[in-house]
A and B are shown apart, each in its own frame.
Chain A
Amino acid sequence: MDDLFAARSQMALSLGFHIIFACIGMVMPFFMATSHYKYLKTNNPLYMDLTKAWSKGVAIFFVTGAVSGTMLSFELGLLWPEFMLHAGPIFGMPFSLEGTAFFIEAIFLGFFLYGWGKFKPWFHWFTGVVVGISGLASGILVVAANGWMNSPSGFDFVDGKFLNIDPVAALFNDAWFTQALHMSLAAFTATGFAVAGIHAYMILKGKNREFHRKAFTIAIVFGAIAALLQPISGDISAKDIAVRQPAKLAAMEAHFETSKSAPLIIGGIPDVEAKEVNYAIKIPGALSFLAHGDFEAEVIGLDQFPEEYHPPVAVVHYAFQIMVGLGMVLVGLSLLYFLSLWKKKDWQLKPWFLWLFALATPLGFIALEAGWTVTEVGRQPWIIYEIMLTKDAVTPIPGIKYSFFIFTAIYVSLAGIVSFLLYRQIKAVPDSLKKNSQASSNT
């Protein structure tokens, strides 16, 4: 394993790990606030229990998100010093604003978690809402920083020097909006389906059905709405990168040769040597339509780029298929849920219905990781698109693979402990419910 590959792997691992916790930290506060709101409106103690049960899970996830994020802010320098030396002042603006958002999030989480019985109920509710909003804001900001790497702006690049830097223009780069929109929706989709799935499974097990049904409903409504919007936003992203990063689009679609009325390639095994895709379904003209809104339009292929600037085609292509495929599955499930609301309320208690959602628990997160693989691997070999190569940015210190092994071990154990804790939280729900309803009858 050479140092560059080790550094890329370590970065990918850290980001892939962080994103899971970041999404949960961004979205769960909204679920909690909804449940809390229902409690304040209806006085049904089940909603109070639900808010508290969720808030314990969130505390565990939040801290894991926070430490893995802290890691990342050091890792950017530990692994990519040459990149940070130039990029820091340019794309730093979102990070410095994000600092504020994180701070507010952390402070208000303190209010929310430790504030039971201390504040007026509506103020307490409000602190929870602030946690959600500032989490979402920090997610959008950091994605804007990533957008800058895909679509650098806000400086003049003259003789290898970065001049006339304008951080505000860098923040509002061409990619920020499409990426931030798609990512925010993805966070709601992934977290919504994951939470709904776990509660669907608990209903199947038959414990505290009322409690878990309430939880399921809140989570799935958020998740399903986001999942239905996801393909629309994804289409906007695809049209955008067709113009902005044609090499990435070509890799996603395994589109080797520039052509008019290009076919959409679904599935298949890309053969990079022979520049063709075997065993794929091809829909004539569909790619031209998706990318440019016209069945006849020309779509740039990989042949327009020198070989050394091609992203790894197979990885990007597979990742894209996984994301879109799972996206469609989630759209189907969302439609099923709304159908059941509209016509067939009794479906919601049928085992087959619950099993479908229980099995879908990880799908949103798999789609999300796949989507990031498309974006990040599709940008290769550039760390700053068409400005700086990843291999020129890597740290000079040798032996990065040892660091990669150590951090892999740490992340694996953390993931293990978090799952274990979550399992125990869920297992303990019946006990804590009894305690809580006693406590809430006292207040």
Chain B
Amino acid sequence: MLYVVIIFLCLSLLMYVLLGGADFGAGILEIFTPASMREQLRDTTYKTIGPIWEANHMWLIIAIVILFVGFPPIYTTLSVHLHIPLALMLIGIIGRGTAFVFRHYDAYQDDMQKVYNFIFTYSSFITPFFLGLIFGAAIGGQIDPEAMGFYEAYIHPWFNLFSISVGVFTVAICGFLASVFLVGEAKKPKVKSVIIGKAKLFIVFTVIAGGLVFAASIIDEVPLVGLLLKEWITIGTLVLATIAVVVLWMKLKEGNKMMVRFLSGFVVTAILLAFGYHYFPDIIITKSGENLSVFNSSAIGKPIDTLAWALLVGSLFILPSLGYLIYSFQGSKEPNQANG
């Protein structure tokens, strides 16, 4: 049963990065869009993401619940040593979630919109940055449960080059996912060509940021490159991801929307898989080398079994309705609520 729980944990994290990532990316895109085009971009975003918006961040909550029920030492170690970036990420989540809805449900369209937009775009940027940073810190090997000083225990684990570069990389990925996702939605040719431009820009960003992560891992002595290149499976997946990026680049303009979306999802999944495979079963790499893994940190016996059953039964309800939700709003022309 432990494996069922582990699979759900990976799945919900993957879903959060893919769907949530596209969602954050839409906000990031706004920062990089000339003011004259923003209105149209916002419209497109709202139509595409609006209906599934609420469901997106549920993946994060599921992952958190799995962590604290199934793997409490991992949850508490992260909460204690990464308290500060977690709190900052929460602020981002609050700002973003509320601003997104407020700007659509404010009964009047006036200067308040500027405030909402400001909060929306910047928190879209902050949240994935800290999410990535936390991820980087977990595997960066700087968490030290024995540390005494404030800096050593609560700052250094995440305030280092490697974690920060993973944060930047995550931001780039979100922008990449969103721009590719929106390509298929844009109806007006002018909007479409702007979005394609952004997509290309973000592909370049992602590649550069990926390079940055490797460089930082060398500087911070995180054993990443050497080990990644030792295993055939990780090499294979990363090569496939690279090929997919190249294909995507060529097909952006004329490719159909399902195909480009699939490719972008594939790229991100492959990167995560390569990392996941490489680190499995460890989740937190500590300074002393006594890592916390899904095996040595899991609850045992009934808690895991009931959690697994709850997840299995839950997904019987959730997956069909989620599928139907996405299906129902495919290619919808009018956001009815907005003028309703």
Chain A contacts to B: CB under 8 angstroms: 52, 55-56, 59-60, 62-64, 66-71, 73-74, 76-78, 81-82, 84-86, 88-90, 92-93, 95-100, 102-104, 106-111, 113-119, 165-168, 395-398, 403, 406, 410, 414, 417, 421, 424-425, 427-428, 432, 435-436, 439
If A62-B54, A114-B335, A439-B340 touch, does A85 touch B76 (CB 8 Å cutoff)? yes
Q: For B303, what are the chain A residues with a Cβ–Cβ distance below 8 Å?
A: 89-90, 92-93, 165, 167
B94 at the interface (CB under 8 A from A): yes
Q: For A55, what are the chain B residues with a Cβ–Cβ distance below 8 Å?
A: 337
B193 at the interface (CB under 8 A from A): no
Task: Decide: B321 and A104 in contact? CB cutoff 8 A.
Answer: yes
Closest Cβ neighbor of B88 among chain A residues: A406
Cα A105 to Cα B196 in complex, Å, equals: 35
B229 at the interface (CB under 8 A from A): no
Q: For B304, what are the chain A residues with a Cβ–Cβ distance below 8 Å?
A: 89
Cα A369 to Cα B69 in complex, Å, equals: 28
B10 at the interface (CB under 8 A from A): no
Question: When the two chains form the complex, which single residue of A92, A111, A417 contacts B68, counting CB atoms closer than 8 Å?
Answer: A92
Cα A168 to Cα B303 in complex, Å, equals: 9
Cα A89 to Cα B65 in complex, Å, equals: 10
Cα A112 to Cα B28 in complex, Å, equals: 28
Closest Cβ neighbor of A100 among chain B residues: B314
Task: Decide: A414 and B98 in contact? CB cutoff 8 A.
Answer: yes
Closest Cβ neighbor of B150 among chain A residues: A398
Task: Decide: B107 and A432 in contact? CB cutoff 8 A.
Answer: yes
B329 at the interface (CB under 8 A from A): yes
Cα A410 to Cα B62 in complex, Å, equals: 24
Q: For B306, what are the chain A residues with a Cβ–Cβ distance below 8 Å?
A: 93, 96, 167-168
Task: Decide: A88 and B69 in contact? CB cutoff 8 A.
Answer: yes
Q: For A102, what are the chain B residues with a Cβ–Cβ distance below 8 Å?
A: 58, 61
B228 at the interface (CB under 8 A from A): no
B36 at the interface (CB under 8 A from A): no
In the complex, 27 of the A-B residue pairs with CB atoms within 8 angstroms, ordered by the A residue number, are A52-B340, A59-B105, A60-B102, A63-B100, A63-B102, A71-B90, A74-B90, A84-B68, A88-B68, A93-B307, A95-B68, A103-B58, A103-B317, A103-B318, A104-B318, A104-B321, A106-B58, A110-B55, A110-B325, A110-B329, A111-B328, A118-B332, A165-B299, A396-B80, A398-B150, A421-B107, A425-B105
Q: For B239, what are the chain A residues with a Cβ–Cβ distance below 8 Å?
A: none
Task: Decide: B64 and A73 in contact? CB cutoff 8 A.
Answer: yes
Taking the closest CB of chain B, its distance from the CB of A113, in whole angstroms, is: 5
Cα A94 to Cα B75 in complex, Å, equals: 18
Task: Decide: B80 and A81 in contact? CB cutoff 8 A.
Answer: yes
Taking the closest CB of chain B, its distance from the CB of A53, in whole angstroms, is: 10
Q: For A403, what are the chain B residues with a Cβ–Cβ distance below 8 Å?
A: 87
Given A70-B90, A85-B76, 9 extra CB contacts under 8 A = A60-B101, A90-B303, A95-B69, A102-B58, A103-B62, A118-B328, A167-B306, A167-B307, A417-B102
Taking the closest CB of chain B, its distance from the CB of A26, in whole angstroms, is: 15
Chain B contacts to A: CB under 8 angstroms: 50-55, 57-58, 60-62, 64-66, 68-70, 72-73, 75-76, 78-80, 83, 86-87, 90-91, 93-94, 97-98, 100-102, 105-108, 150, 153-154, 299, 301-304, 306-307, 310-311, 313-314, 317-318, 321-322, 325, 328-329, 332, 335-337, 339-340
Q: For A167, what are the chain B residues with a Cβ–Cβ distance below 8 Å?
A: 302-303, 306-307
If A84-B75, A103-B314, A110-B55 touch, does A78 touch B83 (CB 8 Å cutoff)? yes
Task: Decide: A100 and B310 in contact? CB cutoff 8 A.
Answer: yes
Question: When the two chains form the complex, which single residue of A74, A107, A395, A428 contacts B55, counting CB atoms closer than 8 Å?
Answer: A107
Task: Decide: B106 and A421 in contact? CB cutoff 8 A.
Answer: yes
Task: Decide: A95 and B325 in contact? CB cutoff 8 A.
Answer: no
Task: Decide: B107 and A96 in contact? CB cutoff 8 A.
Answer: no
Taking the closest CB of chain B, its distance from the CB of A157, in whole angstroms, is: 16
Q: For B337, what are the chain A residues with a Cβ–Cβ distance below 8 Å?
A: 55-56, 113-114, 116
Q: For B52, what are the chain A residues with a Cβ–Cβ distance below 8 Å?
A: 110
Q: For A73, what are the chain B residues with a Cβ–Cβ distance below 8 Å?
A: 61, 64-65, 68
If A92-B307, A95-B65, A403-B87 touch, does A103 touch B98 (CB 8 Å cutoff)? no
The secondary structure that dominates the B interface is helix
Q: For B83, what are the chain A residues with a Cβ–Cβ distance below 8 Å?
A: 78, 395, 397
Q: For B321, what are the chain A residues with a Cβ–Cβ distance below 8 Å?
A: 104, 107-108
Task: Decide: A92 and B101 in contact? CB cutoff 8 A.
Answer: no
Task: Decide: B105 and A421 in contact? CB cutoff 8 A.
Answer: yes
| 6 cross-chain pairs, A with B, having the tightest CB-CB distances, nearest first | A92-B69, A77-B79, A100-B314, A428-B107, A89-B303, A89-B299
Task: Decide: B94 and A67 in contact? CB cutoff 8 A.
Answer: yes
Task: Decide: A70 and B55 in contact? CB cutoff 8 A.
Answer: no
Task: Decide: A81 and B314 in contact? CB cutoff 8 A.
Answer: no
Task: Decide: B68 and A424 in contact? CB cutoff 8 A.
Answer: no
Q: For B97, what are the chain A residues with a Cβ–Cβ distance below 8 Å?
A: 63, 66-67, 70
If A64-B98, A395-B80 touch, does A427 touch B314 (CB 8 Å cutoff)? no
If A74-B79, A89-B303, A104-B318 touch, does A60 touch B105 (CB 8 Å cutoff)? yes
If A88-B75, A89-B299, A397-B154 touch, does A74 touch B328 (CB 8 Å cutoff)? no
Cα A281 to Cα B299 in complex, Å, equals: 52
Question: When the two chains form the complex, which single residue of A99, A115, A414, A435 contacts B94, counting CB atoms closer than 8 Å?
Answer: A414
Q: For B98, what are the chain A residues with a Cβ–Cβ distance below 8 Å?
A: 63-64, 67, 414, 417
Q: For B86, what are the chain A residues with a Cβ–Cβ distance below 8 Å?
A: 74, 78
Q: For B72, what are the chain A residues with a Cβ–Cβ distance below 8 Å?
A: 84-86, 88-89
Q: For B108, what are the chain A residues with a Cβ–Cβ distance below 8 Å?
A: 424, 428
Cα A76 to Cα B87 in complex, Å, equals: 12
Q: For B153, what are the chain A residues with a Cβ–Cβ distance below 8 Å?
A: 397
Closest Cβ neighbor of A167 among chain B residues: B306
Cα A396 to Cα B148 in complex, Å, equals: 11
Cα A92 to Cα B304 in complex, Å, equals: 10
Task: Decide: A410 and B94 in contact? CB cutoff 8 A.
Answer: yes
Task: Decide: A70 and B60 in contact? CB cutoff 8 A.
Answer: yes
Q: For B78, what are the chain A residues with a Cβ–Cβ distance below 8 Å?
A: 77
Q: For B55, what are the chain A residues with a Cβ–Cβ distance below 8 Å?
A: 103, 106-107, 110
Taking the closest CB of chain A, its distance from the CB of B340, in whole angstroms, is: 5
Cα A52 to Cα B94 in complex, Å, equals: 25
Cα A113 to Cα B310 in complex, Å, equals: 28
Taking the closest CB of chain B, its distance from the CB of A87, in whole angstroms, is: 8
Task: Decide: A427 and B107 in contact? CB cutoff 8 A.
Answer: yes
Q: For A421, what are the chain B residues with a Cβ–Cβ distance below 8 Å?
A: 102, 105-107
